[in-house]
């Protein structure tokens, strides 16, 4: 079966990569692609449609799944339209607040919804090992550093937030400390978080665990956005056969 994929934010950094990844994948094809001001543009040979017509497109073009990398508000609107049309939704968008995330998750009662803050397989491996590292080094200091391009809007990154959840689930910490300045010594059990924005860095995440005259550094560095797009398209192909529910990228990798 060929999986038909609708793509949002088609002229964005990730939207372009998703269209390229769909074209490269043997088991799927583009059903439609939208951006807010298409003005006759094409990306990867696909003519763009107006985002304002998304509700009609998601019904008329009969996609099996929509892949979204936009912003939290638009992602939620697209997901609601998918739920109304009975179409699965995969999103890599980050920066949802708690209400937006709850609203997205509630749509998974009606359709399959997969949200992953990072579609790189290496990041999933990092998520798997960071908890074990923290658990086996109690009392060590933990600091998280993430670096992205200068156009990224949300901070810390969705990936950093996911790693922090994992760290907190496997150790005893007093809270999170975002950056430091002035006379501001480190509290014993805090987790330090540092956000760097510069140039065109694709995405780097490092967890530093230090104490007992030793340090462990767990680092992931994405070298090309294509790695995220390939993972998202793998997720789209996987979710096309899934029942309504709330999924993450681990479900795809473990399948």
Q: Which residues define the annotated binding site for (S)-2,3,4,5-tetrahydrodipicolinate?
A: 149, 158-159
Residue placing its CB nearer to ligand NDP in the complex, 35 or 147: 35
| Residue 190 · residue 175 · CB < 8 Å | yes
Residue of the chain from 144, 148, 242, 247 that contacts ligand LZUJQKHR (CB under 6 A)? 148
- What distance in Å separates the CA atoms of residue 124 and residue 130, rounded to the nearest whole number? 10
Main-chain phi, psi angles of 101, to 5 degrees: -65, -40
Q: Are 141 and 177 in contact (CB under 8 A)?
A: no
- Cα of first residue to Cα of last residue in the chain, in angstroms, is 18
Q: Does 117 bind ligand LZUJQKHR (CB under 6 A)?
A: yes
Report the catalytic residues.
148, 152
> Which of ligand NDP, ligand LZUJQKHR, none binds 74 (CB below 5-8 Å, type-dependent)?
ligand NDP
Interface with ligand NDP (CB under 6 A), residue from 228, 238, 239, 240: 228
Among the candidate windows 137-145, 154-162, 166-174, 185-193, which touches ligand LZUJQKHR by CB under 6 A? Answer: 154-162
By CB under 6 A, residue 74 contacts ligand NDP = yes
Choose between 34 and 167: whose C-beta lies nearer to ligand NDP: 34
Question: Which of ligand NDP, ligand LZUJQKHR, none does 108 bind, CB closer than 5 to 8 A by kind?
Answer: none
177 near ligand NDP, judged by CB under 6 A: no
Q: Please give the structure tokens belonging to residue 40.
A: 């006759």
- Chain position whose Cβ is nearest to ligand LZUJQKHR: 203
d(CA 169, CA 131): 7
Query: Could you tell me the smallest distance in angstroms from the CB atom of residue 171 to ligand NDP?
Result: 25
Q: Which does 209 bind (CB under 5 to 8 A by kind): ligand LZUJQKHR, ligand NDP, none?
A: none
Q: For ligand LZUJQKHR, which is the closer residue by CB, 63 or 158? A: 158
- Residue from 117, 164, 167, 240 that binds ligand NDP (CB under 6 A)? 117
Nearer to ligand NDP, 70 or 108 (CB): 70
Binding site for ligand NDP (CB under 6 A): 9, 11-15, 35-36, 51, 69-71, 73-74, 92-95, 116-119, 154, 158, 228
Q: Which residues bind ligand LZUJQKHR (CB under 6 A)?
A: 94, 117-118, 148, 152, 157-159, 203
């Amino acid at each position: 079966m060929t999986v038909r994929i609708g793509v949002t934010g088609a002229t964005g950094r990730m939207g372009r990569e998703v269209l390229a990844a769909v074209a490269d994948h043997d088991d799927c094809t583009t059903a439609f692609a939208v951006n807010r001001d298409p003005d006759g543009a094409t990306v990867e040979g696909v003519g763009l449609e107006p985002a304002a017509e998304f509700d009609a497109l998601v019904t008329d073009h009969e996609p099996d799944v929509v892949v979204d990398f936009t912003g939290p508000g638009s992602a939620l609107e697209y997901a609601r339209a998918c739920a109304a049309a009975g179409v699965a939704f995969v999103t890599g968008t980050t920066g949802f607040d708690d209400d937006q995330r709850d609203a997205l998750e509630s749509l998974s009662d009606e359709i399959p919804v997969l949200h992953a803050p990072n579609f790189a397989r290496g990041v999933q491996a990092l998520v798997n090992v960071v908890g074990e590292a923290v658990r086996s080094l109690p009392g060590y200091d933990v600091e998280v550093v993430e670096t992205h391009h200068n156009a990224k809007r949300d901070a810390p990154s969705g990936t950093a937030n996911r790693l922090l959840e994992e760290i907190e689930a496997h150790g005893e910490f007093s809270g999170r400390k975002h950056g430091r300045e002035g006379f501001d010594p480190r509290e014993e059990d805090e987790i330090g978080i540092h956000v760097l924005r510069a140039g065109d860095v694709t995405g780097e995440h490092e967890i530093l665990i230090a104490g007992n005259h030793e340090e462990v550094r767990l680092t992931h560095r994405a070298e090309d956005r294509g790695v995220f797009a390939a993972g998202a398209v793998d997720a789209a192909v996987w979710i096309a056969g899934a029942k309504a529910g709330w999924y993450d990228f681990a479900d795809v990798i473990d399948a």
